[in-house]
Amino acid sequence: MSKFTAPGLSTESADEVAGILQERLSALNDLHLTLKHIHWNVVGANFIGVHEMIDPQVELVRGYADTLAERIATLGSSPNGTAKAIEADRSWSDYSIGRDTAQAHLGALDLVYDGFITSHRNAIEKIGELDPITEDVLIGQTAELEKFQWFVRAHLESYTGELKHSGASGEKEAADAAR
């Protein structure tokens, strides 16, 4: 519970926003680890392009985690960035693809981004009525994450605009379809 918060924001609202942000912080920490895992495990014909495309995503996502942690502290709460916090806050499955082709990882990563961006949008919706400053932070992050997903999809898209893995219900299914 907050003992102080940002001016003009009630401690009750600040605590609610900080709780939502904590889950998003854990999700961002997990996402940057997943991206680095992909970076280390991608192989095949498009290896170097995908390998090098992932690193800027890792760095930006790490920065987003820092931004949310600092926002939680600004609201008077204590951010938790431990591995245990990621596990406790997790409502998603762990990334399931090991060493595999660029196409397989990109198909799976597209699904990861679908889930992550949807969750970020849900947080925007919840926070919007409570704190427009935090809402703005999440909106900016979501816009960049959607651009990264576009980068991923550009590698997967056919000349007709279709994604071979469209409709996949899990990472392994998406990876298999994208190969």
When pLDDT is averaged across residues 138-154 and rounded to a whole number, the result is 97
| Collapsed DSSP state (helix, strand, coil) of residue 159 | coil
Q: Which domains does the chain have, with CATH numbers?
A: 11-178 (1.20.1260.10)
The percent helix, strand, coil of the chain (3-state, each to 5) is 70, 5, 25
Identify whether the C-beta of residue 38 lies closer than 8 Å to the C-beta of residue 54: yes
Q: Quote the pLDDT of residue 4.
A: 86
| Collapsed DSSP state (helix, strand, coil) of residue 2 | coil
Identify whether the C-beta of residue 21 lies closer than 8 Å to the C-beta of residue 80: no
Q: Quote the pLDDT of residue 36.
A: 97
**pLDDT > 60? residue 1:** no
When pLDDT is averaged across residues 157-172 and rounded to a whole number, the result is 93
Sign (positive or negative) of CA dihedral 8, 10, 15, 20: negative
Task: Give the least confident one: 2-16, 90-104, 147-161.
Answer: 2-16
**pLDDT > 70? residue 46:** yes
Its pTM stands at 0.94
Q: 76-116, pLDDT tens digit by residue?
A: 999 999 999 999 999 999 999 999 999 999 999 999 999 99
Identify whether the C-beta of residue 2 lies closer than 8 Å to the C-beta of residue 11: yes
